[in-house]
Amino acid sequence: QQPVQSPQAVILREGEDAVINCSSSKALYSVHWYRQKHGEAPVFLMILLKGGEQKGHEKISASFNEKKQQSSLYLTASQLSYSGTYFCGTGFGGATNKLIFGTGTLLAVQP
Amino acid sequence: KAGVTQTPRYLIKTRGQQVTLSCSPISGHRSVSWYQQTPGQGLQFLFEYFSETQRNKGNFPGRFSGRQFSNSRSEMNVSTLELGDSALYLCASSPSPLAGGGNEQFFGPGTRLTVL
């Protein structure tokens, strides 16, 4: 039931791009993306909803393929501040805030 | 607007003891969810509360319980602590639950529980 993220880890140089994928075996109603820096709380980045609506950070882009039950987070022109662990959280039907989080992707941006 | 607050931030207990963790959501938010984060299991859902009612519970033993008060503050309790309960416990604050999980959630800094 836990969504699978890929890659597990990625190292970038400043200015490079990265894509993080999140795949679920169950039908999804929403996908949430969070970034967590070491020793800190996860920070909200974006929600993608079934039907195409998106809410989130202006500088972050993502896609949600409902049929394939997959989402991808696109990080372009990466900055040092992008470093951290990225989690996708999947939402389900019904009025609930319950999320099932993915395995996480560790992103390190180097100068 | 003040963020989510969690107390205490750090806690050290011994096996067999019990512990109570507290979470105060963002003003105006009435939904609180709790998650356990460990290096091996990642972020795992514990409970969701809205209007003092538990709406969802994760796959955890009955030693884990929680409640929500009329001011939306929430507490979780773990009884008969085990070594494996050592983790970061995070609470997330959100407005009323929306169908399909369409609300962004704001996490508190967490309580780091160590069980010796």
Distance from CA of A60 to the nearest CA of B (A): 15
| DSSP element (H, E) containing A84 | strand A84-91
Residues B46 and B66: their CA atoms lie apart, in Å, by 9
Using CB atoms, pick whichever of A47, A49, A87 lies closest to residue B43.
A87
In this complex, the residue of A34, A42, A91 whose CB is nearest that of residue B101 is A91
Between chains, do B48 and A96 touch, taking CB under 8 Å as contact? yes
B101 with A99: Cβ contact below 8 A: yes
Q: Show residues of chain B in contact with A94, CB under 8 Å.
A: 99-100
Q: Distance between terminal CA atoms of chain A?
A: 37
Give the β-pairing of B19-24 and B10-13.
Answer: unpaired
The tokens for B99 are 């169908």
Q: Which residues lie closer than 8 Å to B106 by C-beta, 6 or more apart?
A: A44, B3, B4, B26, B29, B92, B93, B94
Q: Tell me the per-residue pLDDT of A17-34, one tens digit each, with 9 for 90 and over.
A: 999 999 998 888 899 999
* Cβ pair B114, A42 in contact under 8 A: no
A41/B107 CB distance under 8 A: yes
Q: pLDDT tens digits for chain B (116 residues)?
A: 679 999 999 999 999 999 999 999 999 999 999 999 998 888 999 999 999 999 999 999 999 999 999 999 999 999 999 999 999 999 999 987 766 667 888 999 999 999 99
- What mean pLDDT is reported for chain A? 90
Q: Which residues of A touch B42 (CB under 8 A)?
A: 2, 87, 101-104
**pLDDT at position B100, please?**
62
> In B, which residues are within 8 Å of A100 by CB distance?
45
